[in-house]
Amino acid sequence: MITIKAQAKVNLTLDVLGRRPDGYHDIMSVMQTVSLGDTLTFQPAPLVTLDGLEEAGLDPEDNLMKRAATLLQQATGCDKGINVRYERHIPFSAGLGGGSSDAATMLLVLNEIWGIGWPVGRLVKLAAELGSDVTFFLYRGTALVQGRGEMIKQLPSIEEMWVVLLKPPITLDSKTRALYENLGEDSYTKGEATKSLVNSILIGEQLSSKALFNSFESVAYKFFPDLAKYRQLLIASGADSVHLCGSGPTLFTLAPSYERGEGIYHSLHEQGHEVYLACTV
């Protein structure tokens, strides 16, 4: 039996460069995994089965984890099975990459358990078929992400920081597609924020909240009702600055110490909000 945590991510920067001929968008982003994560427990079994999905609101037969296992079987000719017990801790459709992380974890663990032994670079093609963020989670840590998400360059780890994540009770159908479609030409960038942060990381500078950027913030506050209210809640609880996770609606702030992060977390938790305290990993 093997138990693995499939970690969430935040985008320290997210520059959207423009629309591609294939309908996707080119991005430049510095992604960072954090300690918040779903728990996946793997046990030998004759077939691929997943437990705990219905309790978490997922379809046991149509989800990224099942697709990842099936894709790996088809690509390798492997006919082995596995039972996976899934425990959800990352909120759905929140900009934190939970589903993508779960899928990448399936590829990594099954590649080992089934004795396939592919190098991570060979799993990248399968990850890209599953979703734009899945490739990053094969590497984790701190990374420069480019293309539509499939081009990864690992970066030196940043100094550990605490992250307070506030998930508003906001939903939007086809969220990511809707936000991309409503990015205007004035929202596109040339990747300046990401390039600047990458340079800072490479020379070992301490991460500053002023370096964080997300192109989606130009449209997210129009699309998510009351998102501005939740931003103010974070500030009122002690956050110096507030940033959007991916395409949202989760908001986050960086805290320089556990004590500072814990104070912000408890303030929001006591008010009944869905809030998480995590650290960069």
Of 15, 102, 133, 167, the catalytic one is 133
- Among the listed residues 9, 66, 167, 175, the single catalytic one is 9
Known catalytic residue: 226? no
Residue 229: active-site member: no
CA distance 237 to 232: 8
Separation between Cα atoms, residue 248 and residue 129, nearest integer Å? 23
Per the CB < 8 A criterion, the answer to whether 100 and 149 are in contact is: no
Tally of helices (H runs) and strands (E runs) in the chain: 9, 11
Place of tokens 């990864």: 152
* All residues at 6 or more sequence positions from 266 whose CB lies less than 8 Å from its CB, including other chains: none
Residue ranges of alpha helices (H) inside 119-276 are 120-130, 134-139, 175-181, 192-202, 217-223, 227-236, 258-270
Collapsing DSSP to helix, strand or coil, 245 comes out as coil
Catalytic residues: 9, 133
